Amino acid sequence: MKVGCVREIKAQEYRVGLTPEAVTELAARGHEVLIESGAGAGSGYDDGHYKEAGARILRDAEGVFAASDMIVKVKEPQAEERAMLRRDQLLFTYLHLAADLDQTRDLVKSGATCIAYETVTDRNGALPLLAPMSEVAGKLAPQMGAWAMQKANGGCGVLMGGVAGVAPAKVVVIGGGVVGTQAARVAAGMGADVTILDRSIPRLRQLDELYGGLFRTAYSSKATTEALVYKADLVIGAVLIPGAKAPKLITRAMLGRMKPGAVIVDVAIDQGGCTETSHATTHDDPIYEIDGVIHYCVANMPGAVARTATQALGNATLPFLLELADKGWKRACAEDPHLLNGLNVHAGQITCPAVGRALGLPFITGSDALAM
Ligand X SMILES: NC(=O)C1=CN([C@@H]2O[C@H](COP(=O)(O)OP(=O)(O)OC[C@H]3O[C@@H](n4cnc5c(N)ncnc54)[C@H](O)[C@@H]3O)[C@@H](O)[C@H]2O)C=CC1
Nearer to ligand X by Cβ, of 239 and 332: the residue is: 239
Nearer to Mg ion by Cβ, of 204 and 299: the residue is: 299
Burial category of 87 from C-beta neighbours within 10 Å (exposed 0-12, middle 13-18, buried 19 and up): exposed
Among 45, 50, 94, 296, binds ligand CC(=O)C(=O)O (CB under 6 A): 94
Contacts of 150 (CB under 8 A, 6+ apart): 157
- Reading across the β-sheet that carries 234-237, which strands appear in turn? 216-219, 193-198, 170-174, 234-237, 263-266, 293-296, 287-290
The least CB distance from residue 300 to ligand CC(=O)C(=O)O, in Å, is: 4
* 186 sits near ligand X (criterion: CB under 6 A): no
- 3-class secondary structure, 118: helix
Question: Does residue 346 have an active-site annotation?
Answer: no
Binding residues for Mg ion restricted to 283-342, rule: CB under 5 A:
299-300
How many residues sit in the footprint of ligand CC(=O)C(=O)O (CB under 6 A)? 6
Helices (runs of H) and strands (runs of E) counted in the chain: 14, 15
Beta bridge partners of 129: none
Taking residue 32's Cβ as centre, other Cβ atoms within 10 Å add up to 17
Beta bridge partners of 193: 170
Nearer to Mg ion by Cβ, of 25 and 135: the residue is: 135
* 305 sits near ligand X (criterion: CB under 6 A): no
Binding track, positions 99-138, relative to ligand X; x by CB under 6 A:
-------------------x--------x--xx-xx--x-
- Which of 228-236, 297-305, 311-319, 325-333 is the region at the interface with ligand X (rule: CB under 6 A)? 297-305
Binding residues for ligand CC(=O)C(=O)O restricted to 301-360, rule: CB under 6 A:
302
Nearer to Mg ion by Cβ, of 70 and 299: the residue is: 299
359 marked as binding residue: no
Question: Does residue 96 have an active-site annotation?
Answer: yes
Phi then psi for 95, rounded to 5 degrees? -125, -45
Rounded-to-5 percentages of helix, strand, coil across the chain: 45, 20, 40
301 marked as binding residue: yes
* 178 sits near ligand X (criterion: CB under 6 A): yes
Q: Rounded to whole angstroms, how far apart are CA atoms 37 and 51?
A: 10
Length of the chain: 372
Q: Rounded to whole angstroms, how far apart are CA atoms 344 and 368?
A: 12
The least CB distance from residue 367 to ligand X, in Å, is: 23
Task: Please give the helix or strand (H or E) that residue 334 lies within, else none.
Answer: helix 306-335
* 90 sits near Mg ion (criterion: CB under 5 A): no
| Residues found near ligand X in the complex (CB under 6 A) | 118, 127, 130-131, 133-134, 137, 174-180, 197-200, 203, 220, 238-241, 246-247, 249, 267-271, 299-302
- Residues within the annotated binding site for Mg(2+)? 323
Catalytic residues: 96, 270
| Residues found near ligand CC(=O)C(=O)O in the complex (CB under 6 A) | 94, 130, 133, 270, 300, 302
